[in-house]
Amino acid sequence: MKKNSTPAWLTTFLLRVAGGIQYKKLVKASKNPKEASEQTLRAILEYGKDTEFGRAHRFDYILSAANGDELYKRYQEQIAPSDYEDYRALIDRHKNGEANVLVPGKPVMYATTSGTTKEPKWIPITDVYLKTVYGKMTKVWLYNYIINRPKAFYGKLVTIVGKDIEGYAPDGTVAGSVSGVTRRDAPSFVKELYAVPGSVYGIKDYNARYYTIMRLGIETDATIFITANPSTLVEVQKNVDKYYDMYCDDIEKGTLSKEFDIPADIRKDVEAQLEPNPARANELRELKRKYGQVLPKHYWPHMQILNTWKCGNTKVYLDKIEGYFPASCLHQEFGYFSSECRFGIVMDDTNYSTLFPHYHFYEFMAEEDVDKLSDPEALKSVKFYQLHELEQGKRYCPFVTTFAGLYRYNMNDLVEVGTPYFNTPRVFMIQKVNGIVTMTGEKLHERQFIEAVKNASAESKLDVKFFVGFADMSVSAYHFYYEFADANVSQAQCDEFTKLVDKYLREQNVEYVAKRDSFRVHDPIGHMLVENSFEKYKAACIAEGARDGQFKMNLLMQDDKRHEKFKKLVK
């Protein structure tokens, strides 16, 4: 492994300077969130006023408001709450080469992620957004590492991210992973610290990818480990347990095992940085003799920062990695981060994200109003709260307006408000809402599940009278329950039907494919229900106090109590 040309003290100094400047701007904005929010909304509308979208929605009229209250009133009047499907046609025009449609000029890249339909979402990212939120605020993120752990950058960084380039729009604009782009655009003196070259994230076989990442990472004295999903850590450690001796052999010889399917160009890129390291190989072998199962706290004893999500549904995975890392290591929440926007970053060990009132305009819907999202008429009467109006301890669904063409965009999340950062409320992501279920980032939508069952039924010629699905975090898998019209359907036929459902889910949801292929979501499990299963479930709920006239249920859920009821209805 090649040595760094920039000494650790200098890297730390440079990050303190670069991040410190942006940190002061964040602090200033956080002291007066109402004022910062008004300035940001004006700046975003000014940026987009000459686009087709800006003219159609009278941005000039909104901007002529004399004060912040009137500005927001006009903004609400002119633009309704939105989701991706409201923008798809406009974004498609950008993808095909048109300029000044949704954003000034054209996006410089797109972030791809799953949507509620079969077609994935292509989230536009503008040059302004890339340079500010993914540029300046990343500097604050790295600066924050040093504030919490002064020697964070005294060793190597092991990161597990997506590819910075995953494809191209019809006009040639890059589509890629935001996390990959953030990694790619880090300062050069930070890139020196990467234990893994970016090309490795292009290895399609996840077993080979995990092997390559850890063969490189375990050779180093790593001090920072970054991966959004803690479920990835579980899979990585399984790879370590399985191939530990092979790592040692490769490290000793300065090689990369030929047993894995690694494209020739990526293999060449990796091998260019390898050198025989028998001393480290012997250290690792000694660790195995001493401990049996070798964990990160053994092979990375100087680890300073572990950065993963700790929000939403991740507790099951966090429990599985408890005790893996050194006690002195700070396990910091990754922060509220999605393909649509980098909503905020965590600055301490509280798990609550500090927001960016100088780069985003935020709005929030109270938890009790979330059910009205699917009713356009009811939605008109819902109160939307601005950032400075949030109450600590309450939960809300956030909407965001950005410099990347998203206006009053529904994040489909439920967040809880914590203590403020100066005077700006901080938030913690609780779960997805509005028919979306996710265990480890797959964001599976109820309508995708319904469509998959419908297609499986058509292909198999098995009629389904009723069906329901549940996410099971304990095994990282979905349980699918079916009441077939033919009472003689066998469990073997049910299992084959479930494979078809899985196939069609893969066709509809790119995130589901990634999580299935990387072993973070396991094979779905099929169950056969007794006759009249829905009626029996409903009767049980009403017996417990549910109101018959208002009874309703989702067909895809993460709800242990409801799941238990259906377990009792299996043949």
Identify the domain boundary among 312, 333, 354: 333
In a domain, residue 61? The reply is no
Inform me whether the pLDDT recorded for 549 exceeds 60: no
Give the per-residue pLDDT at 119.
82
Give the per-residue pLDDT at 381.
87
In a domain, residue 296? The reply is yes
**Cα separation, 11 vs 566, whole angstroms:** 56
Give the per-residue pLDDT at 2.
63
Give the per-residue pLDDT at 396.
96
Inform me whether the pLDDT recorded for 159 exceeds 80: yes
In a domain, residue 158? The reply is yes
Are 160 and 295 within one domain? yes
Instruction: Report CA torsion sign: 84, 87, 89, 94.
Output: negative
Calculate mean pLDDT across residues 368-390: 88
In a domain, residue 491? The reply is yes
Inform me whether the pLDDT recorded for 550 exceeds 70: no
**Model pTM?**
0.84
**Cα separation, 177 vs 288, whole angstroms:** 36
**Cα separation, 254 vs 562, whole angstroms:** 54
Inform me whether the pLDDT recorded for 4 exceeds 80: no
Calculate mean pLDDT across residues 47-54: 98
In a domain, residue 523? The reply is yes
Instruction: Report the domain count for the chain.
Output: 2
Q: Which domain holds residue 178?
A: 143-333
Give the per-residue pLDDT at 376.
80
More confident residue, 380 or 129: 129
Give the per-residue pLDDT at 432.
81
Give the per-residue pLDDT at 270.
96
3-state DSSP percent of the chain in helix, strand and coil, to 5: 45, 20, 35
How many helices (H) and strands (E) the chain has is answered by: 22, 22
Which residues touch 558 (CB under 8 Å, ≥6 apart)?
313, 431, 437, 439, 470, 471, 473
* Beta partners for residue 444, in sequence order: 437
Calculate mean pLDDT across residues 536-557: 74
Are 306 and 452 within one domain? no
Are 319 and 447 within one domain? no
Inform me whether the pLDDT recorded for 280 exceeds 70: yes
Give the per-residue pLDDT at 1.
65
Give the per-residue pLDDT at 548.
52
Are 446 and 325 within one domain? no
Are 279 and 159 within one domain? yes
Give the confidence band of 314 by pLDDT, cuts at 50, 70, 90: confident
In a domain, residue 505? The reply is yes
Give the per-residue pLDDT at 427.
97
**Cα separation, 224 vs 221, whole angstroms:** 10
Calculate mean pLDDT across residues 386-392: 97
Identify the domain boundary among 333, 359, 382: 333
Cα 422 to chain center, whole Å? 27
Give the confidence band of 546 by pLDDT, cuts at 50, 70, 90: low
Are 318 and 440 within one domain? no
Are 319 and 188 within one domain? yes
Q: What is the pLDDT of residues 282-309, one digit of tens each?
A: 999 999 999 999 999 999 999 999 999 9
Identify the domain boundary among 287, 316, 333: 333
Are 161 and 307 within one domain? yes
Mean of pLDDT over the chain: 93
Range in 254-258, 374-378, 438-442, 483-487 the model is least confident about: 374-378
DSSP string, 63-103: HT-SSHHHHHHHHHHH---B-GGGTHHHHHHHHTT--SSSS
Give the per-residue pLDDT at 343.
93
Task: Give the residue from 355, 315, 352 showing the smallest Cα distance to 29.
Answer: 355
Strand 395-401 vs strand 344-346: parallel, antiparallel, or unpaired? unpaired
Range in 61-75, 254-268, 361-375, 391-405 the model is least confident about: 361-375
Are 460 and 322 within one domain? no
Q: What is the pLDDT of residues 108-140, one digit of tens each?
A: 999 988 777 778 899 999 999 999 999 999 999
Q: What is the pLDDT of residues 494-505, one digit of tens each?
A: 999 999 999 999
Calculate mean pLDDT across residues 320-346: 93
Report yes or no: 13 and 137 within 8 Å, Cβ to Cβ: no
Inform me whether the pLDDT recorded for 450 exceeds 70: yes
Give the confidence band of 517 by pLDDT, cuts at 50, 70, 90: very high
Q: What is the pLDDT of residues 464-477, one digit of tens each?
A: 999 999 999 989 99
In a domain, residue 546? The reply is yes
In a domain, residue 75? The reply is no
Are 156 and 282 within one domain? yes
More confident residue, 54 or 186: 54
